[in-house]
Structure formats: C-alpha cells, structure tokens
Amino acid sequence: MKYISTRGQAEPVGFVDACLAGLAPDGGLYVPETFPSIAPAEPGESYVSVATRILSAMAGDALPEATVAGLCTRAYASFHHSETTPVKRLSDSLSLLELFHGPTVAFKDVAMLFIGQLYDHALTEQGRHLSVTCATSGDTGGAAAAAFAGSQRVALTILHPHERIAPIQRKFMTTTGAGNVQNLALTSDFDACQAIVKGLFADREFVADVGLSGVNSINWARIAAQMTYYAVAQAAVGPNVPIRFVVPSGNMGDALAGYVAARCGMLGGGLDIVCAVNENRALADILDTGVMRRSATVPTHSPAMDITVPSNFERLLFEAADRDADLVRDSYQAFAKTGEAVFPDSLKSRLGCMAISGMSIGNHDTLAEIRRMLDQYDELVCPHTAVGTAAAHARPSPAHTVVLATAHPAKFPEIVKLAAGVDAPLPDYCAHVADGEESFDVTDASLETVRDAVSSLAGVRV
C-alpha cells in the first residue's frame, strides 16, 4: 500500500512514512494510491476487531496485523464505554453516534490515541525523535496532549487561538505537566494557527532540522482511524440499512472518513453525508457553489468549527477531479494568491454527485436546538452536536439519520447553561482537569515566534 500526494509532486511513500510526515513535501495531502476493499463490520463485532481490520488494510505490508491489533488494543483501553463509540437510538428515525467516551471526552480521542501508539512504535523501531505540531480549534489539542504527554520520542507544540476556545477545552491541553508538551495561545483565529503550521512545513530545511510532523486532521492516520466508527454504526443500525450521517464539520476530516469508509465498501446502506457547519459556512458554500473563497472567521457558540479553510476538502476535490493533481495544485495556488478558486462546471457537477452536502446553522438556532434536544429527547448535547441535530431536523430524510455526537456537553458548560439552564458536569474520570494547574504562553501569531518555540522544545527532548 503506497500513498501519493494530492498535488502530484511528491514520491509515493508507505503508510507509516505518510503518517509520520503528516503533510506531503509538495504541500499536498497523502491519500492511498488505491482504496482497499475492506469487509464491513458485523453486528456485535468488537471495536478493536473492526479497527484492526481497517488499519491493517490501510497499512498494507508496512505493519504486521498483530502489531496493528496491539496498537488498537492499547489505544482504546482508555475509553469508558464497552462499545467505545456506541450508537444511541433516540427515535425510529434518529440516533446519536457517541464519540466522547475517551479521556478528553471528544471525538478527537478516537484517532489521536491510535496515532500516539503508532508514533511511539514506529519511532522506537527507527530510533528517531519528532517535533509534532498541532493547530487546534478546541479538541484536537487536548487529545494530542493526552496521546503524547510524557513520550520519550515526541516533542509536542500545540497552537490554539487565544480566548476563542472554551476554558475546559484549554485545560485538557494545558494541565498535563509534561515537559515534552508546550502550549502557545496565539492572538488570532484558528485559520491563522493552521496557516502557521503549513508555513512551518513549507520550510523543508526546518522540517529536516527538527524532524517536524503534524497530527491535525490532515494526517492520514486520523482519517483511517475515524473510519471505524462509521463501520460500527452501520452494523449497529443494520448492515444494509440506508443511513444519513450528519457530521458537525470544521476541517472536514470527520466527514472525509465517512466518504473513505464508503469507498472501501464498509457502508452497506450507501453514502449520504451532510456536513453541518455553523455561521462559518465556507465548507457549505464550496459544496453548494463550487467556489472556494477566503472569508473572515466569525466567533460562534460552536468554536471548534470556527474554520473558513476546511483543509480536508482538498482530498475530496482530488477524488472529484478524477485524481487530477494538476487541477488540485492550480486551484490551491490560485486560492493562496487571490483568496478564491472557482472550479470548472464539470467539476462542480461531480462534486454535486458525491452524496456529500453542506448545511449552515446559526448561533440562535444552535442554542434553541440544545434546549429542544433536552425537552424532546431528554438528551443534553454539546453545541457542536446541536449544529448536527439542528441540520437533521431542518432537512428530514427517509433514511435513518445518525448524528455524530462529537463532544460531551461538559466541554462547553457555559453555552449549555445559557441554552438549557442546566449544568453539565464533567464525568468523574476527568473531573480533575478542572482544577489542574495550567501552563501556556500567549504570543503573537508569528511564524518566526512559533518556529523558535518548536526549535527550543526540540532541543529539550524529555
């Protein structure tokens, strides 16, 4: 199994190398040369069994299946539900796919804990160290901190937009006390954090000097690991039952994992994905109009989705363009220069036929949906999940709808309290985070400042 770049100017690499690199050297994203055929999940099959089958297929001969099984077993041992990501049926037509039973009570744990195991295994075998960077709009940073804290092989730098994430989200990443983890609060928005990470990768000499890697949603291991809960959900609802998945979306990595699961034959009910976004509607506009346009980020009640440049769209564009890397590269070069890329009509048509659509939900409707979910279903949801359920209610479907519940409501207690008038306490197993001592530095959104910080931590190596 080899991996190629969406921009066509990087040599094919194996699974482990693609995952350790994060971003391809030509600035593109890694995708498999061909999508493997993978047997669907069976009803009642264990999560580790399904994850092992998927990740072994994605790894090919880069990792023995027994090694993958061990990585998955260790990764998911820290989840606090016997089914790892259970499907909770609320009605005959609506279910929630609960993705928040990991140590940082958000869906990012599913992939990040596997990545932590994969990196430690691969780097130990190779005798290497890496400097991992992570730009976060909220939950990725906490999941990365949990996965890498104390690692002897990884120095982790987390970037988050200062005062634009929930306080408890910040605490999950700033209270580890680990010497190999540093947190930088940048005085800008998430898109600036993400742009700085890409700027670091553009300096190939710097990449080589510090052994730079990234674990944002651009990392293929995250897409591969997240495929598992789509397969498990299909088996739980019914192996061949049509399902409409509604996915609260920012960078589009979660939705992209569903697309790949379908391409690999794991969704017997067919592909139907709605990307539910907040007032930062760039992804919905791209899918609706075929125009990618830069815009200012608007702060919302669902801050982890306050993103206007959905990085994983590049992978979907690559497939819609029949893997025309030149078209993808030209589109992103135009976007970088002018802030806009207009796709040809033929490409717009193909995007429209991929069974992936977008829908935007406003701030007011998000708050109203949190209240509605409590009143109608006795279910307290986080604001991001509420964006998904609001989209599901606004656009009925004959298929059974599964909304991805991306975080525990306790990650956003202030917003939940505002919307529903009730408290949302953290689960007992992570209540200690609220009182933990934080460590983070507020700094300007400067490529040079971040480069210096990454270099400094790389020299410490805990």
Q: Which residues are catalytic?
A: 108
338 contacts: CB under 8 Å, gap ≥ 6: none
> CA 12, CA 16: separation in Å to the nearest integer?
12
Query: Which letter does DSSP use for residue 40 in this model?
Result: P
311 and 335 in contact (C-beta within 8 Å)?
Answer: no
> CA 101, CA 297: separation in Å to the nearest integer?
30
246 and 54 in contact (C-beta within 8 Å)?
Answer: no
> CA 32, CA 15: separation in Å to the nearest integer?
9
- For every residue of 47-103, which 3-state class applies, written as one string? HHHHHHHHHHHHHHHHCCHHHHHHHHHHHHCCCCCCCCCCEEECCCCEEEEECCCCC
Q: How many CB atoms lie within 10 A of CB 398?
A: 8
* Residue the block writes with tokens 């088996």: 235
The dihedrals phi and psi of 13, each to the nearest 5 degrees, come to -135, 165
Query: Residue 307, SS3?
Result: coil
Please name the residue ranges forming H helices in 378-460.
Answer: 383-394, 413-420, 447-460
Q: Which of 399, 390, 401, 382 is nearest to 365 (CA)?
A: 390
445 contacts: CB under 8 Å, gap ≥ 6: 186, 187, 188, 192, 193, 196
Output the CA torsion sign for 334, 275, 258, 385.
positive
231 and 54 in contact (C-beta within 8 Å)?
Answer: yes
Please name the residue ranges forming H helices in 166-295.
Answer: 167-174, 190-202, 204-210, 220-237, 253-263, 282-289
> CA 299, CA 165: separation in Å to the nearest integer?
10
CB-side neighbour CA atoms (13 Å) of 256: 28
234 and 268 in contact (C-beta within 8 Å)?
Answer: yes
